[in-house]
Structure 1
Amino acid sequence: MTPLLLLSALSAFLTIWQKMGRQELFITVPSLFRCPISMEVMRSPVSLCTGVTYDRSSIQHWLESGHDTCPATMQVLPSKHLVPNLTLHRLINLWLLEHHSSQSSPKPSTQQIQVYIEKFDDENSEVDLRDYLAKIVDFAKVRNQNRRFLADFDGFVEVIVGVLCKRAEMEVLELIIRILDLLISQHGVKERVHSLIFRSNYQNFFPSICFVLRNGSLSSKRESARILESLAHDAESKRRILEQEDLLSMLLHLVSSDNDPDLHDAVLSCLIAVSRSRSAKAELVRFGVVLVLSERLLDPNTKLSIAEKCLKLLSIASTCAEGRSAISENPKCAAALVGGLMKAGTEDAVAVLWGMCCVHGDRKVRDVVIKCNGVTKILLVMQSDCEGNVRSMCGELVKVLRDGCKSGGGLGLGRYETKTAHIMPC
């Protein structure tokens, strides 16, 4: 079955489906009523100790899968007790009664869809293809059941990945990227895409993604980065991504050049996902990740969540010799790490400084930390509500840095003792 044939059939099906239940299909659901995990209207809303409310079935599945964090905030949960949100439950029930949303929208059978497929040939124009893809995007955006339907539709994922690998028109590529982004979290989809891109006839998958990252809209760039992150779920897929030199350089360029926080967030999450192996870290360092992250951290306009991911990626880079060398040779990096103390990613910042100064005895980093008033900030971290291992690393750092002050002719030592006497560790 050709891509145009399947897309034509789906377009016909969507048109009929929308006519059958158009009013229910396009009802706007208040965001407060949607579960942050399933994105569906909550049937039994319950709240965690973080104050975030989820549908009971979704959050129970999350917790029973071994997670100990709040999915929305990623805070570690001191308690997994679920408290029913009765007020929200009543509001949702009233809204459901008003909009009759408890009734399922009609869905044709697979046999009906096959009838639509058989009525179409592959002589449609390029304009028609874009129109079909746009309709499918609209359909997939509405609700999770629609996305599940498309993911389960025999051959659909394979067809759109095939089109992505063969088409060069930006509008078509962006629409397919949007569809993939909507479907990639559905059960089994990322595994199917992963399997497809290893075939020889799908070798243009990564060049197409790179083309969108370079020339696409901000939204399509974010979606491309999220797709790459989802695909980086095993060593082989991470290796394949890292083999694409244009792809890595483009991702780093987006972090350094664009000013869209959501794009930075998606790209950094992608880089963190692919950078766990020894070779991956070395490749990222070769492409200048240390300098890019340092400049982003030193930018006063960088959001806290972005800074945290920058520090996480720097922490990963510092675990290889190339990364440590780059950090040592770049004074901006040590200054950025000191700036991250007590602000964002404290544990990662402390870990990198501890590794550089205490484990590897890097004098260049030590001297920069001293000049940036790092001892005072490290002492403040020790007095905060930090983990035991962080406090231990801080203690060792203070000793090494103060020894550095003494060996450097007392540079700054009196100033530190005067200004930090009230927060000295016991």
Structure 2
Amino acid sequence: MGRDDLYITVPSFFRCPISLDVMKSPVSLCTGVTYDRASIQRWLDDGNNTCPATMQVLSSKDFVPNRTLHRLIQIWSESVRLRKARFEIDNSSNSKDQVVELIQQMHRHTSSSSVDSLAKILRFAKESEDNRKFLANCDGFAALLVEALAGGGNAADGSNNIRILEQIVRIIHFLIGEIQDSDELVRLMLKKSGAGAGDCLASLLLVLQRGSAESRIASARVMESIAVSAESKLLVAERDGVLPELLKLTSPEKDSTLIEAGLSCLIAVSVPKRVKVKLVQLGAVRSLSKLLSDSNSTTSTIEKVLKLLETVSSVKEGRAKICEAEEEEGGDCCVSAIVQRLLKASSTATEHAVMILWSVCYLFKERSAQEAVTKANGLTKILLLMQSNCSPCVRPMAADLLKIFRVNSKSTISCYDTKTTHIMPF
């Protein structure tokens, strides 16, 4: 079926005389002329008292549903839908043949992969899961993409080369989830991620710096997929420019999908101690605190923010920054933002939040953190948490926190026994 075969002719009497669109709810006026209900209603609401098609003065502004025409439009619309579906099936088959030819051309001329060719393959991959599986099963295609990605990091100065890299990264991102042996793809990228010529990481960083939002999301997720071992986490995190660029993605002004891609990648690479310290030095705690305080942050974002804060709280530099007051922000510290999110996002977020508070207040007995919890009404929230159906891992940490505040706090809660089953905090 060719493109011309899909040309659809709409019967003229299916179109509304006002909007000229196919009518969704045809109704007839007293003049016998049929219009789409929404269009004629707007005409009448504007104060008109004539038939738009004949300009006759209306003896009545009532209209009657044209059920016969409505049924004919439904039958016609269904036939068009089925015709389009058949076209898509046939076109998909043709596209597969075209994609195979494009891949073969890339094999023969790796260095001359054009923007248009990659764009066609990318569109094909975006269309369906079946298409992505087809690409994943094309012999040698994944390795070919890795070679192209590795070769582009040092030469991608022009906008055309950046576009090529963006398309390669987005295709690889699609394929990682579909290739049965995705570990092999990761190994190929890690092998091509050393310093010097032929560096996948250099290309991924370039896309992270200069690509579109969609491409940066793909780049961050590909980096996350690479960071599977302690060695690879360090390889990614210690590449100059990677951590600062990932932190830029987490600005509250960014799209939530972009923020979450950056946070997920940071969580993946931040396991080694020296990476945590580096993140703290780059101002990660301040950025994460802003996200916690942002009312527009999604539940998923809050969970990831607290998970990352939990990670950096395991090093003394991280705990110091978490407890440090921001003078220009009114004197509040990150602890206050954490307390505010207790019981307000999800059970996962609550677990991370309690773990952070337990670490800084109970395990390492940071005095400034304890004072911040008290100031933010944290004791009441911890009591409410104990009353709730909190998870088994949260309950003992919450009890430990209450013990600390029972000793240090001068509040009326100081005599609270953590074995009490019924609590009236108000």
TM range (shorter): 0.5 to 0.7
Residue deviations 1:268-298, cap 9 Å, x none? 0111111112222112112111111111101
Structure 2 counterpart of 1:270? 265
Letter matched to residue 362 of structure 2: C
Gaps of 5+ in 2: 7-80, 326-331
Distance 1:270 1:196, change over 3 A: same
Residue deviations 1:286-322, cap 9 Å, x none? 2111111111101122112101110010011111222
Mapping 1:201-212, distance limit 5 Å: 201-203=197-199, 205-212=200-207
Distance 1:191 1:365 in 2: 43
Q: Which has the larger radius of gyration?
A: 2
Structure 2 counterpart of 1:195? 191
SS for the counterpart of 1:273 is: helix
- Is 1:164 the counterpart of 2:152 in the alignment? yes
Distance 2:220 2:288 in 1: 17
CA contact (8 A) 1:173 1:208 kept: yes
CA contact (8 A) 1:304 1:343 kept: no
Question: Which one of 172, 195, 198 corresponds to residue 180 of structure 1?
Answer: 172
- Is 1:141 the counterpart of 2:126 in the alignment? yes
Distance 1:395 1:226, change over 3 A: same
Structure 1 counterpart of 2:231? 236
Letter matched to residue 360 of structure 2: M
Question: Which one of 338, 346, 355 corresponds to residue 359 of structure 2?
Answer: 355
Distance 1:318 1:123, change over 3 A: closer
- Count of residues paired in the alignment: 324
Letter matched to residue 188 of structure 2: R
**Structure 1 runs (4+) greater than 4 angstroms displaced:** 95-104, 106-110, 112-116, 118-124, 414-417
Distance 1:354 1:158, change over 3 A: closer
SS for the counterpart of 2:251 is: helix
SS for the counterpart of 2:228 is: coil
SS for the counterpart of 1:245 is: coil
Distance 1:338 1:142, change over 3 A: same
Query: Deviation of residue 150 (structure 1)?
Result: 3.1
Distance 1:109 1:305, change over 3 A: closer
Mapping 1:224-303, distance limit 5 Å: 224-256=219-251, 258-303=253-298
Gaps of 5+ in 1: 1-17, 24-94, 407-411
Distance 2:203 2:272 in 1: 25
Distance 1:309 1:115 in 2: 38
Letter matched to residue 333 of structure 1: C
Distance 2:397 2:207 in 1: 43
Distance 1:174 1:118, change over 3 A: closer
Structure 1 counterpart of 2:390? 386
Distance 2:268 2:114 in 1: 33
CA contact (8 A) 2:190 2:232 kept: yes
Query: Deviation of residue 366 (structure 1)?
Result: 0.2
Identical amino acids, percent of aligned pairs: 37
Distance 1:118 1:215, change over 3 A: closer
Query: Deviation of residue 134 (structure 1)?
Result: 0.7
CA contact (8 A) 1:295 1:332 kept: no
Structure 2 counterpart of 1:340? 341
Distance 2:82 2:187 in 1: 36
Q: Which moved more, 1:183-192 or 1:347-356?
A: 183-192
CA contact (8 A) 2:238 2:275 kept: no
Distance 1:398 1:201, change over 3 A: same
Mapping 1:56-71, distance limit 5 Å: none
Distance 1:206 1:325 in 2: 32
Letter matched to residue 256 of structure 2: P
What's the TM-score, normalizing by structure 1?
Answer: 0.67
What's the TM-score, normalizing by structure 2?
Answer: 0.67
CA contact (8 A) 2:149 2:169 kept: no
Query: Deviation of residue 233 (structure 1)?
Result: 1.1
Distance 1:353 1:133, change over 3 A: same
Residue deviations 1:347-385, cap 9 Å, x none? 111111111111111110000100110000111111111
